[in-house]
Amino acid sequence: MLRYVLRRMGSAVPTLFIIITVSFFLMRIAPGGPFNLERPLEAKVMENLNRIYNLDKPLWQQYLLYLRNLARGDLGPSFVYRDFSVGDLFANGLPVSIQIGAAALLLALLVGTALGAFAALRQNSPLDYLVVGVATFGITIPPFVVAPILSLVFGVMLGWLPAGGWGNGALANKVLPVITLALPQIAIVARLIRGATIEALRSDHVRTARAYGLPTRVVVVVHALRAAVLPVVSYLGPAAAALLTGSIVVETIFGIPGIGRYFVQAALNRDYTLVMGTVVVVSIFVVLFNLLVDLLYAVLDPRVRYD
Amino acid sequence: MSGDPILSVRDLHVRFALASGEVHAVRGVDLDVQAGETVAIVGESGSGKSQTAMAAMGLLASNGKAAGRILYRGEDLLKLGPRRLDRIRGDRITMIFQEPMTSLDPLYRIGRQIAEPMIHHRGLGARAARARAIELLRLVRMPHPERRIDAYPHELSGGQRQRVMIAMALANDPDILIADEPTTALDVTIQAQILELLKDLQARLGMAIVFITHDLGIVRRFADRVCVMRAGEVVETGRVEPIFADPKAAYTKMLLAAEPTGRKNPVPPGAPILLEARNLAVSFHIPAGWFGRSAFELKAVDRVTLALRQGQTIGIVGESGSGKSTLGRALLRLMESEGTIRFEGRDLRSIDLRRNPEIRRELQIVFQDPYGSLSPRLTVGQIVTEGLLVHEPGLSRAERDRRAIAALEEVRLDPAMRDRYPHEFSGGQRQRIAIARTMILKPRVVVLDEPTSALDRSVQKEIVDLLRELQRVHDLSYLFISHDLAVVRALADDVIVMRNGRVVEHGPADDIFEHPRDGYTRALLSAAFGGWAGGEEPEMRSDVSTAMDL
Amino acid sequence: MSIALEPIPLDAPVRGRSLWQDAWARLKRNKAAVGSAAILLVMALASIVGPWLWPHPYDRVYPQYVRMPASLEPYPREERVLPELEQTLKRGRVDVIAVEMTDSGVRAEIASERGIDPRITRYVARNDLFSNPRIAGTSADGKSAVIEADVARLRFIAGTDANGRDLFARILIAIRISLTIGLLATFVALLIGVAYGATAGFLGGRVDNVMMRVVDILYSLPFIFFVILLVVFFGRNFVLMFIAVGAIEWLDMARIVRGQTLSLKRREFVQAAEALGVSNRAIVLRHIIPNTLGPVAVYMTLLVPKVILLESFLSFLGLGVQEPLTSLGVLIAEGARNIQGARWLLLYPSVALALILFALNFIGDGLRDALDPKER
């Protein structure tokens, strides 16, 4: 087991390396630079800035420099948020994104599993159709439509919750963003659980459990649902990584100081280090959660063995 | 045996609602089971024999509905609420299923699964249930029960899993054990062991067994009474001996006659050798796994030597994993191999058969699965004539069509069906189509890879008869691969018995069937033809050798 | 030795039904799928033909009609006509003595100390409310006149946007753009995915291993970031957009096709064809490709909505197509910005997007059920 984990960690290094390399050079061949503002700077100032940030060195030197700093855990200074290093920005933003994302993930798992399981147990009943309909709706309507509508209805019209803003992390400010983030995930989890449960209920081993007079509760929970959770587990890896690293849409619309909102702005402003930092952080999350999910899968399914 | 039956089925009807209409699967079945007796329900696929049992256990699919009465000790199981029914099933009436590979929950250890019904019905504590589970595993002759109790199903072979199912079924000392084709998915020697185990347990524990099967051989050896079903109705019912001796219903007569009979006419001496193999070997390289398994060579076929004469049939017999199918494919150069293969004296391994289609067309094969071997999106006409496109590309469309008609007529299919698609045909018809596709090329050597295994007995007989006739008419040479000894006996001149890739015995069919020398051959024969009843248990432990699923 | 002919029902039609025909029949029974297909067809036709027939061009700005709510009644509203006329004339520096509604339009009496310049009508003409302005009569001294004009009746059934453009026309053009991007990007994904997947699956062995390893690595790249980078750096370009999107989405397609090819290769009918001596090329063409089409078709219908969603996401971030062209994502983003005062700006584009996505999802699901009879 430990050997497997170490090997997987090891194989993640080349992946991360490729990601960093591709993003670095892709970004640099693009026209423009961080200091090409609308009002051009004086040549002398420009030169100074470029020297301070090592932008005057050959590209390959900058690349090696970046790799070396990265190996030391230094993501470099932000070009646009001049008073902050990229590390500072993430230190402030990441906890916020993780809070919102984790809450949404938890909500999605609880509600999605419950809805999916109930729909499967009452297959082709009105409840089932309702869940399937709502799930399709949840998958179809993008968050950038849901977010403003929720904000309008609950924030402006009803006035129950703040329409936006962070409010220093007040609970009321988190409700709408979490729901917006969770809705599509609820829909996907419910669909996955429903499909897998229906399949599990039809399986031979559930027939065996029923033939042996086990109570419905035991048949469903012990023998059907555990098998039905497996596809959700494999879906969770990428989903968790995406949720925890912040949503561009939700953070922009609700004005939440997470890390999701940085990326587009940073790319538009050619804030090289901030773009790279985001790519690195997100990639690490993806790799990490894929590994976690594989391990969890092995715990749940004895047929999978890593050593 | 007399007195009130312990289970009696009266006028049972089972209907399934499908999108295409209603299917009336069981039509007014009556059946009585006395305490301690064995009743066999026998019939071909679609006869409603399984659905009768499913209805009794309340296990019909959600679109199925049962009407009539199923009385267990006077209580109508069809009218019981789910809770009352759950008190009976798994406790007084238990069931084992056909598919040992999937009937156990893959996510739990077998000990827990055996213990579950005891804990639930008898209120046993976890410790007591575990102790009893070990005892039960010992009772069903599971090797190392103390260790195996903590195994997961995927760590056991098919036969061992069926033993686990039986242990589960016996846990609460049931009155009735329903066994739905419990040995069909197993190799013959393991089949024999499981049947013997059931018989032995019944003698010791005294429960009634309802045995559902398509195999008349099992019925004859195993059951007290038999109930023959066809198309949802009981055709004939009564004690086994009189029915086998003097069947009344035409269908029963047909079933009994469907056991393949007759012997092949011997090949004239001096018939030329067509296909010859020396020290043929096929090995698979199993690469080192990601997770610590080291690489090794698996010898699927290990130094096999044989010679097939014109008009001769060699039967190749063995259980799953014995390498018999691999041998057939390697002989036709559909698979890489070592050793020499000669066809009419020419070394096949040095010839590229794609460049030499005239040799390829002489060496043909018919596959086992009539559902998988026909391309689903082509018409029967296209399937049958596909070989002509390769080997006689100059033929006009009309000429191809004429040949297709001739080929279909030869396998006794209506040529008007050639514009239809494979999914519209039954298994037997599909196998005829597959044979027509082969025969249209006028081959000289045909490898028949279990061509009858997926078919019902009565259909099997028709296919066997067809193959025989084609051989006689075209002077074909067959390599007949099968695990079904009765069919091999009816078709083959020579028999090769294979095990783990090696030939264990090779000789004229009569010699091998009458005087088997090898222990494994004897085990196979006694399992297939019932020498074991009352005799000693076959000495081999085939469970262990097939535990490695490859 | 006689061989019985297996019973074949006599009334059976001689011409068989292929799996495609069966699937088609099943699909036609699926009401949700058929309804969805009809809706989608109507929307697609409307987006192709609509902009020609619709009275308002999608890029025409009506300065007098900024953020008009959706209404079936034509604009202008009665109470707005006369004040607007008065204001317009005053902008031409004339005194307005009287304005009144007439049967055919409006009528105003004006006067000016400096004399009436006939070009005053241009002021009126420039206003979207009026058309065909003319001087009906001038007094003898030329210092007063009567101006008549028709009232232009304009309908904005979906309202107008913040620039005074007809929202319905913009939605039509947006549907056209969104569907085009959806189809083109899906086509790109299909092309790359099928070629890659079929190659890997058919060649198998080491080649397959390497090719799928590459896909695995690509999977773990944060692709959405690369698309954003591409679009940001190389400009907001229609073509780049669907190439970028298609280039991400081919991964799944490649996996599906490879899996299908691998499993088909092991099927007995492919082995049977090999035994007949059929060439590799013919096996791929006759036995493998026709059998992968089902899953590929299903995946395609489900990919189109994914691509549309991705495109609208990029548009929402302001990285989509450029003005005056528009897409549903752009419209929704504008709607979200104007949600306080003009809810219809969010409502109608969202409904259009939801309809397309719903329809495509239902068609995809229906297709899957139709092609896989076991699902039922």
Q: What average pLDDT score do residues C9-30 get? A: 66
- Chain B contacts of A214, Cβ < 8 Å? 86, 90, 116-117, 120
- Among C226, C317, C355, C356, pick the best mutation site for testing chain A contact (most A Cβ within 10 A): C317
Q: How many CB pairs lie under 8 A apart between chains A and B?
A: 81
Say whether A141 and C354 touch across the interface (CB within 8 A). yes
Out of B82, B90, B291, whose CB is closest to A212?
A: B90
In total, chain C counts a number of residues equal to 376
Q: Do C220 and A287 touch (CB under 8 A)?
A: yes
Closest residue on chain A to B169 (Cα): A212
**Partner A contacted by B88 (CB < 8 A):** yes
Cβ separation A205–B95 shorter than 8 A: no
Question: Which chains, if any, share at least 3 CB pairs under 8 A with chain A?
Answer: B, C
- Quickly state the pLDDT bin for A305 (edges 50, 70, 90): low
Rounded CA separation B157/B543 (Å): 7
pLDDT in tens, C115-145: 777 777 777 777 777 777 787 778 777 778 8
pLDDT at position B532: 40
- Cβ of C313 and A22 within 8 Å? no
Interface test with chain B among A6, A212, A299, A306, by most B beta carbons within 10 Å: A212
- Shortest distance between the Cα of C279 and any Cα of chain B, in A, equals 8
Q: Do C225 and A263 touch (CB under 8 A)?
A: yes
B150-174 as b/e, with b when 16 or more CB fall inside 10 Å? ebbbeebbbbbbbbbbbbbbbbbeb
Contacts of B133 in chain A (CB under 8 A): none
Distance CA A203, CA C372 (A): 18
* Nearest CB partner across the interface for C3, out of B357, B412, B426: B412
- The identity of residue B117, as a single letter, is P
Instruction: Mention every residue, 6+ apart, whose C-beta is less than 8 A from residue C283.
Output: C270, C273, C274
C213 CB contacts (<8 Å, ≥6 apart)? none
Three-state SS for C187?
helix
| Chain B residues touching A123 at Cβ < 8 A | 62
Of C14, C20, C269, the CB nearest to B416: C14
CA dist., res. B136 & res. B147, Å (int): 13
Interface contact A141-C346, CB threshold 8 A: no
Span A222-237, pLDDT tens digits: 888 888 888 888 888 8
Quote the CA–CA distance of C145 and A230 in Å, as a whole number.
84
Considering CB atoms only, which of C229, C313, C346 is closest to A26? C229
- Is residue A11 over pLDDT 80? no
pLDDT at B285: 74
Query: Do the chains contact at B391 and C271, CB–CB below 8 Å?
Result: no
Q: What is the dihedral of CA A273, A275, A276, A279, to 10 degrees?
A: 160
A180 vs A187: CA distance, rounded Å: 12
Residue A38 has pLDDT above 80, yes or no: no
Rounded-to-integer distance, Cα A150 and Cα A156, Å: 9
Q: Which residue of chain C comes nearest to A198, CA vs CA?
A: C375
Regarding predicted confidence, which is higher, B437 or A40? B437
Residue A204 CA: distances (Å) to CA of B59, B101, B347: 11, 9, 50
Tell whether B293 lies on the interface with A, counting CB pairs under 8 A: no
Q: Distances in Å between the alpha carbon of C165 and those of C48, C54, C158, C326?
A: 19, 13, 10, 12
| Cβ–Cβ contact A215 with B under 8 A | yes
In the predicted model, is pLDDT for residue A31 greater than 90? no
Placement of tokens 């259909």 in the chain: B459
The verdict on A227 touching B (C-beta cutoff 8 Å) is yes
Asked if pLDDT for residue A178 goes beyond 90, the answer is: yes
* Chain-chain contact of B291 with A205 (C-beta, under 8 angstroms): no
Q: Which of A2, A197, A207, A208 to mutate to test the interface with B (most CBs of B within 10 A)?
A: A208
Q: Which of C2, C5, C6, C24 to substitute to test the interface with B, most B CBs within 10 Å?
A: C6
Q: What does the alpha-carbon distance between residue A172 and residue A163 come to, in Å, rounded to a whole number?
A: 10
The DSSP code sequence of C233-281 is HT---HHHHHHHHHHHHHHHHHHHHHHHHHHHHHSHHHHHHHHHT--HH
> Given B59, B88, B94, which is nearest A210 (Cβ)?
B59
Structure tokens at C291: 């059998």
Q: Provide the pairing of β-strand B93-96 with B296-309.
A: unpaired
Q: What does the DSSP assignment read for A256-271?
A: --SSTTHHHHHHHTT-
Reduced to 3 states (helix: H, G, I; strand: E, B; else coil), residue B455 is coil
> Which one of B375, B418, B439 would you mutate to disrupt binding with C, by most C Cβ within 10 Å of its Cβ?
B375
- From the list B504, B500, B498, the residue with the least C-alpha distance to B482 is B498
The two beta strands, B313-317 and B494-499, are parallel
* Residue C5 touches partner B, C-beta closer than 8 Å: yes
User: Subunits that touch chain B (at least 3 Cβ pairs < 8 angstroms)?
Assistant: A, C
C neighbour chains, 3+ CB pairs within 8 Å: A, B
* Per-residue confidence (pLDDT) for residue B460, from 0 to 100: 86
Nearest neighbour of C222 by CB, restricted to A253, A282, A290: A282
Whether residue C324 is preceded by a cis peptide bond, meaning omega within 30 degrees of 0, is yes
Angle, CA C25 vertex, CA C22 and CA C30 arms, to 5°: 125
Residues of B in contact with A208 (CB under 8 A): 97, 103-105, 165, 168
Please indicate if any CB of chain A lies within 8 Å of the CB of C214: no
Whether the pLDDT of residue A148 is over 60: the answer is yes
- C376 contact residues in B (CB cutoff 8 A): 19
Residues of A in contact with C318 (CB under 8 A): 264
- What's residue B531's pLDDT? 47
- Residue A211 and residue B57: Cβ atoms within 8 Å? yes
The pLDDT tens digits along chain B (550 residues) read: 456 889 999 999 999 887 777 888 899 999 999 988 999 999 887 788 889 999 999 888 888 889 999 999 888 999 888 888 889 998 999 999 988 878 999 889 999 999 999 999 988 999 999 999 999 999 888 888 998 899 998 888 888 898 899 999 988 889 999 999 888 877 888 888 888 888 888 988 889 999 999 888 888 888 999 999 998 899 999 999 999 888 888 888 888 887 777 778 888 878 899 999 999 999 887 665 544 456 677 788 989 999 999 999 999 998 887 888 899 999 998 888 888 999 988 888 888 888 888 888 899 999 887 778 888 888 899 999 999 998 888 889 999 999 999 999 999 888 888 888 888 888 888 999 999 999 999 999 999 998 888 788 788 888 888 999 999 999 999 999 988 888 898 889 999 999 988 999 999 988 898 888 888 888 888 877 764 433 333 333 333 333 333 3
DSSP labels, C288-299:
IHHHHHHHHHHH
In the A/C pair of chains, how many CB contacts fall below 8 A?
97
What average pLDDT does range C25-52 have in this prediction? 86
Taking contacts as CB-CB distances below 8 angstroms, the residues of chain C near A282 are: 222, 225
* Most distant pair of Cα atoms in chain B: their distance: 78
- Per-chain mean pLDDT for chain A: 84
Residue of C nearest to B331 (CA): C275
Place of tokens 């929402």: C316
Measured between CB atoms, which of C6, C14, C15 is closest to B426? C6
A290 in reach of chain C (CB within 8 A): yes
B107 part of contact set with chain A, CB < 8 Å: yes
The minimum CA-CA distance between C244 and chain B, rounded to whole Å, is 34
Q: How far apart are CA C71 and CA B81, in angstroms?
A: 60
**3-class SS at C162?**
coil
Helix/strand/coil for A130: helix
Residue B275 · residue B341 · CB < 8 Å: yes
Is the Cβ of C209 closer than 8 Å to some Cβ of chain B?
A: no
CA distance, residue C295 to nearest chain B CA (Å): 14
CB contact, 8 Å: C78 with chain B?
Answer: no
Q: How far apart are CA B273 and CA C62, in angstroms?
A: 95
Give the number of other Cβ atoms within 10 Å of residue A85's Cβ.
17
> From the CB of residue A278, how many other CB atoms can be counted at a distance below 10 Å?
28
Name the strand (E) or helix (H) holding A75: none
Residue A299 at interface with chain B, using a CB cutoff of 8 Å: no
